[in-house]
A and B are shown apart, each in its own frame.
Chain A
Amino acid sequence: MSHWIIAPIVLPALMAPFIVLFLRHDVGLQRVFSLAATLAVGAIALGLTAAAAGGAMEVYELGNWPAPFGIVLVLDRLSALMVLLTAVLAIGVLLHVIGTGWDRRGRHFHALFQFQLMGLFGAMLTGDLFNLFVFFEVLLIASYGLMIHGGGTYRLRAGVQYVVFNLAGSTLFLFALGTLYGVTGTLNMADMALRVGELPAGDTALLRVGAVLLLMVFAVKAALVPVQFWLPGTYANAPAPVAALFAIMTKVGAYAILRVYTLIFTPDLAATGSLAGDWLMPAAIVTVIVGMVGILGARELARLVSFSAIGSMGTLLVAIALFTPEGTAAALYYMIHSTFAAAALFLIVDLVDARRGATGGRLVDAQPMAQGGLVAAFFFAAAIAMAGLPPLSGFLGKLLVLDAARGAAQVWTVWAVILATSLLAVVGFARAGSTLFWKPHALPAEEPAPQAAPATTLPFVATGGVLAIMALMTVFAGPLTGYLQATAAQLHTPANYIDVVIDPEAVADAGGGAHGAEDHDGAEPETGDHHEGE
């Protein structure tokens, strides 16, 4: 029994209360422990990814209860990849936060940050739908705490909208879960996958309702049109480094869609068939348009980046909505890419904000900023990545998505929309960059000189590191897509996952419940070693 699978959840879950309990008055110590824990999680994630790379899956039965009766965590290639992605992003964001001193602007940043990580890792590792709900709550409430970190009227107002909209999503999650439990009688994903295949015909209508409501819940997280409304206000008003971390939050929605609709409601399942793809594809296409149009129309840098995040989610979900191994592999590449691209852009938003004084990120004339050359170079690179131009990973990601769309019914729409809206993104980013970084040099210099720059180099290291990852993703696209293809193949053969999670004997033993009791012959339990050896 390897406990490493649960380490990414337990470590931050221990670190956060530890910080609150012992370090809450010393930000310096908080930084040390928070960063150490995040680095450790990163190392663990690497190990888990290596363990999963071979294709073997591992199941962790919490409380030693067998699936489907207890909660299980499942490590496969996808969950390992997601954990690694999150950990790497978290390290970058944390370095930036420490470098810029954002953690001093409010209380409990590091504790909330660790709780946020715990929620993310839990959502990625769990094999149980209700447990997924719980982790959605953890990451929602932690993200709310992070989002309003530092306060301010606009931020608090946006925070209310964020939490209200997402609580509505959580409510719907409960409806969806109730429906699915009412029809299938289980919460374990693998078990549900087994049971949905054997349902009587009269249950299919309700099953379909449960399936699409769940899709809707995940769509809220993934900021898919028409439930994307919470995103622009949230990302644009959150502290920019927090928004950078949030780049992974929308991916959790995408991850959940991938997981549930390749495992439970697969295209092969007669009751639901292409249901998910049918709803997802048009919505994703519209999302691409709404996002890219938003880039062109933005008045403010953070909002521009927020809409680019929406647009990239659209592209990602287009690939997911194909529900083919090629589409999934492309989606995974694009997912990694767009996480880092959005994160890099938000970190740059923070660099810009910090250097333009009262003007902040508004796209209006202002004096040149300190270290403007380097910030401009970063922005250029990140914008290239996000707009999907070479040489960074955005271009390859886009090509992979376009290529995977071959053979889909909507291939022409997908191609036309993704390519045409890329132009909107290019023009939007070029206008913004020109205003921010070039135009100031044309203005008469004012006294006093531009804001003195924050002297620390750590934020540049963080942003540069994230950009470097995207460069590496381009160079090593071959091996990376190799791993992702294997991941997609694993996802699209759900039988293996089910086999690993569900032990038919354990289910049969417990079978009718009452029988389970009889197996124990009604004996008085003498020791606590309950289901040992079962």
Chain B
Amino acid sequence: MSPALIAALPFLGALLPGLMIRAGRDASALVTGAATLLALIGLLTHLPAVMRGEVVTAQFTWLPALGLNASFFIDGLGMLFAGLILGIGLLIILYARYYISAQDPMGQFYTYLLLFQGAMVGIVLSDNILLLLIFWELTSLSSFLLIGYWKHLPEGRQGARMALAVTGMGGLALIGGMLILGEIAGSYELTVILENREAIQSSDLYMPALLLILLGAFTKSAQFPFHFWLPHAMAAPTPVSAYLHSATMVKAGLFLMARLWPVLSGTEAWFYIVATTGLVTMVIGALIALFKDDLKALLAFSTVSHLGLITMLLGFGTPMAAVAAVFHIINHASFKAALFMTAGIVDHEAHTRDIKRLGGLRRLMPVTFAIATITALSMAGIPFLNGFLSKEMMLEEASHTVWAGSHWAVPALATLGALLSVAYSFRYIVHVFLGPERDDYPHHPHDPGFGMWAGPALLAALVIVIGVAPWLVEPLVRSFAGAVTAGDLPDFHLKLWHGVTPALYMSGIAVLGGAALLLAHGGLARLWQAAPRPEAKTIFDTVVDSAARAARAFTDALHDGAISRYLAIFTVAAVAVAGISFLGGSFAAGGRALLAVEIIPAIGWLLLVVATLTIVAVHRRRLLALVLMGVVGVMISLGFVYISAPDLALTQLTVEVVTVILLLLALNFLPKETPRESGAAIRLRDGVIASVVGLGAAALIYAIMTRDVSSISQFHLAQSYYGGGGTNVVNVILVDFRGFDTFGEIIVLGIAALSIFALTEALLGGPVSRRLVNWRYDMARAGDRHPLMLVVATRALLPIALVVGVFIFLRGHNQPGGGFIAGLVVAIAFVMQYMASGFAWAQARQNFHYHATIALGVLIAALTGLGAWFNGRPFLTSDFGYITIPPLNEFEWATAIAFDVGVFLTVVGSVMLALASLSRIARRAGETVNLEPMDVDPSKPGGRSERQER
């Protein structure tokens, strides 16, 4: 079976248990087991080839741009780990079938488990380090789900998050390390990297790569000081603990170190970092394990300790140590998984895992007792069990390891670790199973059914077989270890009796000392409880919580919601960026001569400046500020006239009128004064910013306006008549050369009006509506709402204004004018009627639908543009010609006029819709509707019309 398929099978299988759970829990377990078994069989078919030293590969191109390929290979190391993962996986699936209760969603559990299994198999079979990274992160994610499986338990949630944070951090470091490794080796393919030992170790980047990769490995394999997450991950259901946190996932770090052993090991840095970390972890883990009363915590810390042991062996960097490491990986997986399962059985049956509440179980649970004893003794390193063999090898290697010139440091500490290991192993047997039977178990315990103990029993048998007849597995170990050391294997034989060696003495000390330690356990435990020690969870929680608080404080301070501050930062940034960039280039002043200052423009200019400065001074009085803005607008319009831009002037003027009127109407509902919100310092700051920005903008404009440039407008001037059919080049630009821009802009106008309408609807449907209803007008009203003079004047003006509008529209193509301006003029004429006689009165007399007007305008403009398609031309291509209507003269027609009609309609509709929206607000605020056009009507007897309705 292809290695890729082996890795894929669990993922494919992961789809099944969630579905098959509908057919019952057995079916769910069965499909899970079947997927695993199939993968295992597929793997084992390669065993003979791997034993011969061959490497089975499969490769698919995935992301060549990155050097990421879906390439897999099975060598000895991959075979070992994949075998462990799938083999133990099978036993765990069986065990979990009986462990997971009926209330828990078992399909989900098996799905997560298979996802994890696939990720794990992926790691160990990857031939591409980026692919390995993907699977690596997937194990973190799937273990997050598995640890948090009992989501109602706070320990589960917190443990899951802690594991994710710590291993996630390691994973990110690993990404960095792998990227560097790829950089040095020039490839992300493992097989290539493994051949580049010299290049890697002599590179300047070796140290950063090593540190980052080790950070990844240490966090995953719970090495000190990152060991703290593992015990908290024990909140997971026991099958998960047994599988992930003893047999497989925590060994991923070891796998990585073993995998990269040929290229990374052998340097001083490797030895001191890896071996020391392993040694420290081994001792500390064992020490803590001794004092844990929770069975799973005890086993968790013992796992930490044993992982440290293996790490230390890998850190030694000698081939023989690597052999010992590989052998211990096998042995540890067998006895520790079994031990976890026995702990789970005890918990399942007695409803507690607290050693203080247990004891005397040997008669009640004889089978469990037997399994636990065999495996715990193996963990302690007692002869005839497999743990003994690899522990002896470890002690042997430790005994001749020199650490910083010291010959005794490593052996002594290794012996201490072994001694503590014996103590907690014995404790597991003695304090749980031996001693008097109790009558206060939370639940009366007895041995579980066969399904639950079959798995651990099988492992216990394996423990004995390997322990008694190690030569049986020697070829396997040789093949596996050969993959670690890249073929450079020492001559070794696995056997029970090595003669009287230093290791045997150390072993003896460990066993006796461990037994003695257990006898003194009670007193020591009290001492341990009394001693101050850092509580990892508290520290971790504090760190994360304060990081979150700091993040919150930082984010809230930065985004404090003050728009004035945001804009201040924006403008300062713009000016600074522009200024600095300006200095990076060279600047030559433009050569255009300045116009002479004449007296009238100078007065206008002075008015503009004064009005602007006055706005700054009186801006809190909004009405006044608005009036002054009108002055500014008029002066700008006149400025356009002065510099010969009549179209701009007309547009500006009409836009000013419409905006000021709309703003006035809106201001009606707003406070008339702006409250003073910022202190003097802030106002000074803002003043400085505004001045600098203003001066900067002025300087920029001056620099631009004083230079000549050959621009595309020459073409527009030349083509306006011949190509565009109009002599007013501004209008031809608007409706033809750049008609598409105009098309966009009328749409902007239309959208704005629709948005104002929608906004008004939303306002009137919300809490604002109540405020409006209860609103009391806070200013004195003029006695005359609809003054006679205004009414009469606007009535008279209406036809004139409409004619002017039409006139401006029609002359647009050749003279200043056009649809946009005409639309505004007509809109103003209507607006005047509304102002004079009230909105409702006026609307009742000219009822056209504003939405429709806008839509129609846009549609006409768009369809005019589309018309060109039928002429075989692009969108908005104009056409013009001449027609003669008999009694009259020859007329010029242009499709641009139809486009301009669209513009006209959109403008009128938009302004009127905005006005209508404001009037709706006014109505809600209690504005009455007058039935007569004016308040005082001299043509009526009595003169005064009072008829109004709400």
Contact = CB atoms under 8 A, between A and B. Distances in A.
A389 B141 contact: yes
A164 B819 CA distance: 28
A308 interface: no
Contact of A151 (B154, B741, B759): B759
B876 A441 contact: no
B751 to A, nearest CB: 5
A526 B63 CA distance: 61
A98 interface: no
A271 interface: yes
B717 interface: yes
Contact of B548 (A230, A279, A296, A523): A296
Contact of B725 (A188, A441, A530): A530
B137 interface: yes
Contacts of B173: 419
B544 A184 contact: no
Contact of B762 (A137, A150, A160, A437): A150
A448 interface: no
Interface string B875-903: 11111111000000000001100000000
A195 B577 CA distance: 23
Given A294-B551, A434-B148, A63 B855 contact: no
Interface string A89-117: 00000000000000000111001100100
A400 B63 CA distance: 10
A166 B59 CA distance: 50
Nearest 5 pairs of A and B residues by beta carbon: A513-B714, A202-B588, A151-B762, A185-B711, A297-B551
B72 to A, nearest CB: 16
B678 interface: no
B859 A182 contact: no
A68 B737 CA distance: 10
27 contacts: A3-B875, A17-B854, A69-B737, A137-B748, A138-B747, A149-B758, A151-B759, A152-B766, A168-B571, A185-B709, A205-B585, A209-B581, A233-B559, A233-B561, A279-B577, A295-B551, A297-B551, A297-B555, A422-B172, A426-B165, A430-B164, A438-B151, A442-B151, A442-B152, A478-B65, A517-B718, A523-B722
B735 to A, nearest CB: 9
Interface string A397-418: 0011011001000000001100
A62 B876 contact: yes
A290 B164 CA distance: 22
A178 interface: yes
B755 A145 contact: yes
A442 B573 CA distance: 49
A17 B586 contact: no
A144 B582 contact: no
Contacts of A470: none
B588 A183 contact: no
B566 interface: yes
Nearest to A70: B737
Contact of B161 (A118, A420, A434, A523): A434
B858 A164 contact: no
Nearest to B165: A427
Contact of B752 (A141, A186, A428, A434): A141
Given A205-B586, A209-B581, A178 B570 contact: no
B555 to A, nearest CB: 4
Given A115-B751, A142-B751, A423 B852 contact: no
B17 interface: no
B42 interface: no
B556 interface: yes
Contacts of A307: 555
Given A14-B859, A206-B582, A227-B570, 17 more contacts: A24-B851, A60-B875, A69-B715, A119-B744, A131-B738, A149-B762, A169-B570, A205-B585, A226-B570, A229-B566, A297-B554, A297-B555, A422-B172, A423-B168, A477-B63, A517-B722, A529-B879
Contact of A156 (B140, B549, B759): B759
Contacts of B876: 62-63
With most chain A CB atoms within 10 A of its CB, the pick from B64, B701, B759 is B759
Contacts of B573: 216, 226-227
Interface in B143-183: 144-145, 148, 151-154, 156-157, 160-161, 164-165, 168-169, 172-173, 175-176, 179, 183
Given A107-B757, A403-B66, A530 B157 contact: no
Contact of B767 (A153, A169, A184, A185): A153
Interface string A496-515: 00000000000000101111
Interface in B702-719: 703-705, 707, 709-719
B856 to A, nearest CB: 6
B381 interface: no
Contacts of B582: 205-206, 208-209
Chain B binding surface SS class = helix
Interface string B533-564: 00000000000100111111111101101010
A373 to B, nearest CB: 8
A198 B172 CA distance: 47
The range of chain B's interface size is: 35 or more
Nearest to A329: B65
A200 B587 CA distance: 10
Given A191-B712, A530-B724, A212 B148 contact: no
Contact of B858 (A13, A112, A530): A13
Contacts of B712: 68-69, 185-188, 191
A205 B587 contact: yes
A138 B721 CA distance: 30
Contact of A63 (B145, B736, B750): B736
Given A209-B582, A423-B165, A137 B566 contact: no
Nearest to A437: B151
Given A20-B754, A137-B745, A148 B65 contact: no
A303 to B, nearest CB: 9
A18 B183 contact: no
B802 interface: no
A148 B581 contact: no
B810 interface: no
Contacts of A481: 63-66
B209 to A, nearest CB: 12
A122 interface: yes
With most chain A CB atoms within 10 A of its CB, the pick from B709, B757, B868 is B709
Given A69-B719, A149-B758, A402-B175, A230 B566 contact: yes
B941 interface: no
Contact of A525 (B168, B570, B581, B722): B722
B570 A209 contact: no
B722 A520 contact: yes
A10 B62 CA distance: 39
A201 interface: yes
Nearest to B723: A530
Interface in A222-247: 226-227, 229-230, 232-233
